[in-house]
Amino acid sequence: MNLSQMRIMRELAERGTIAAVARHLHVTAPAISQQLAALHRELGVALTYRVGREIRLTEAGMALAEMAGTVHTLIDRAAETVREYGDDTGARVRVAAFQSAGQALLPGLLEDAEGGPSLVFGEHDVAQPEFAELVDRYDLVIAHRMDHDEPWPSEQLSVTTLLSEPFDVAMSVNHPLAGRSSVSAVELADESWIAAHAGFAPDVALGVVEATAGVRFHRAHRVNDYHLAASLIVGGELLALFPRYTAPRADPRLVLVPLEDVRIARNIDVLARPHALARVAVAGTLERLQDGADALQRERPSAPVGPGLHHVEVWLADVEAEQAGWAWLLSRVGFSQESEWPSGESWEAGDTYVTLTASPNLSAESHDRRRPGVNHLAFRGGTREAVDAIMSAGPEHGWRPLYQDRYPHAGGEQHYAGWLENEAGFKVEVVADPGLNALHSLNAAVPPSAPEC
C-alpha cells in the first residue's frame, strides 16, 4: 500500500465515482481502477462495491479512507517540522476569496509580510455550494454563507467563522431616510434599488426584505461590484443592500442604515482541508485573517441595538455527553462557535449568543422543562425545507422529534415549526422564517413576463 493508493481512497470517499477521482487527480479512469484492484489484492478485503454508476466504500474502505486523511495530515506536519529547521521563506500559502471579502481582508496579509510565507491570491465569486470545491486548489478559501443556507460539509472541511455580517441599507447622506437610526421594510417599498445579479447573496437578501414588506421592489440596476454601486448611490436617490463590515465606505457621502424589522446576515467563513491547517504557514495566515476580521468590526461597530435578547446561558449536567448534539443543532440554525473552555463553549449568531456550560452551583442533577422556569428555546430555522431537513436529521444527533402527529403546525396553522428534545430533557423549537416563505410565495405569484427592472 502506497501514498497514491491512500489518496485515491480518500478522494473516492468524497467524490463517489472513479471518473470524478480521475479528473481531480489528472489521470485516467483505468489507472484508478488498476490501483484499487492492486490494493484489494494486497489487503484481501473488499474496499468498494457498486451502486449504479457510483462506487461506495465498504466499512473497511471507509476506515481506510479516514486513515488516509490522517496519514496525509501527519506527512504535512512532518514536512512543516523539517522546514522549521531550514529556510522557510519559500513556503507558499494559496488563499481564495470572493471580491468584497478579498478587498477588505487580503491587503492586511501583505503588511509586514517580509520573512513570512509566499502568498498567492485568487478571486472567486461563485455560488455558495461551489466554495467547498475550491479547497482542492487553495489552502484557505474565504467563503460566504447566508444564515438560512445549509451548513458546510464539516466532516470534510475545517470551518472557521471570521464574521457574522448583517446587510444594511446603503444610501446617500442626502436621502430623506439617511438620518434615521433604522428603517422598516415597508418604508423602502417605493424606492428604486441597485440589486445584485439573480442568485447572488445581496439579491437573495433584498428578496427577504421585499417579502417582509409584502411587495415587489423596483430593481433599477443590476450591479455586483460594491464600488460601482456606491458611486451610483451617491449620485442619485438609489438604495442598495451593503454588508456592514466589508463593503466600501471611503466615500463620506454614503451611509448605511440598519433594518429594524428583519435581520439578514451572511457568515464569512474560512474553509480548509484539516491537513492543510497542519502547516504552520497556513495556520499562521488564518490567524492573521482572524485578526483582520476583528479589526473590521472594531472600525465599523454594529449599529445601536434596540430591545431584544442579548444572550442565553444554558447549564448542562454533563457537558461532554451533551456537547456534540448541541453543536450540531446550533450550527444548523446559523450559530457559529465563538469561544470554548474546558467546561463549556459559546455560540454566536449576529448580536445574540448562547452559552453552554457546567456550573458547580447546579441545584439538581438533571433538567426538567416542566418545572417553573424556561420551557424551551426557539431558533429561526430558515426555509420550510431547511426546518424539514433539521427535523429529519435530528435523531442521528441525539434530538428526537416531538408532536410528530401535528408536524409542522403543532403551534397553529400559520406557524411552521418543529420541536426536538435531547436525552438530557432540553426542548428546542425550530421555526421556519415567514419572510423566506413569503419570498417563495411572492416569486410564485409574479407572472413570468413581469419586468425585473
Q: How wide is the angle at C-alpha 276 spanned by C-alphas 271 and 277, nearest 5°? A: 75
Better pLDDT: 324 or 3: 324
Q: Is the pLDDT of residue 434 over 80?
A: no
Give me the pLDDT at residue 2, please: 82
Residue with cell 451611509: 255
Per-residue pLDDT, 437: 54
* Percent of the chain surpassing pLDDT 70: 88
pLDDT band of 87, cuts 50, 70, 90: very low
Q: Is the Cβ–Cβ distance between 97 and 137 less than 8 Å?
A: no
For 222-231, 302-311, 365-374, which range has the lowest pLDDT when averaged over its residues? 302-311
Rounded Cα distance, 317 and 307, in Å = 31
pLDDT at 308 over 70: no
**Lowest mean per-residue pLDDT among 77-81, 262-266, 298-302, 352-356:** 77-81
Percent of the chain with pLDDT over 90: 33
Q: Chain-centre distance of CA 320, in angstroms? A: 25
Please, what are the domains in the chain?
A: 3-83 (1.10.10.10), 89-307 (3.40.190.290), 311-437 (3.10.180.10)
Distances (CA, A) of 242 to 124, 143, 173, 196, 290: 19, 17, 15, 10, 21
Which phi and psi angles does 336 have, rounded to 5°?
Answer: -125, 140
CA-based nearest residue to 132, from 99, 92, 96: 96
- Comparing 44-53, 312-321, 372-381, 399-408, the range with the smallest average pLDDT is 44-53
Task: Round to whole Å and give the CA distance between 17 and 108.
Answer: 40
In 223-324, beta strands by DSSP E: 240-243, 254-257, 265-272, 311-315
Kindly report the average pLDDT of the chain as a whole number: 84
Strand locations in 184-253 (E):
192-195, 218-222, 240-243
Whether pLDDT at 86 is above 80: no
What are the cell numbers at 247? 463593503
For the residues 251-273, what does the mean pLDDT come to?
Answer: 88
Per-residue pLDDT, 443: 44
Furthest-apart CA pair in the chain: how many Å?
76
How many residues make up the chain in this entry? 453
- Would you call the peptide bond into 408 cis, given omega within 30 degrees of 0 as the criterion? yes
pLDDT in tens, 103-113: 999 999 988 66
Look at residue 452 in the predicted model and tell me its pLDDT.
28
Taking a C-beta distance cutoff of 8 angstroms, is the pair 331, 197 a contact? no
Higher-confidence position of 95 and 25 = 95
Q: Which of 276, 14, 267, 4 is nearest to 137 (CA)?
A: 276
163-207: per-residue pLDDT in tens?
988 899 999 988 999 888 889 999 999 999 999 988 788 888 899
3-state helix, strand, coil in the chain (%, to 5): 40, 25, 35
Query: Of 123-132, 141-150, 151-160, 391-400, where does the model show the most confidence?
Result: 391-400
Q: Is the pLDDT of residue 435 over 70?
A: no
CB 337 within 8 A of CB 345: yes
Residue-level pLDDT at 13: 83
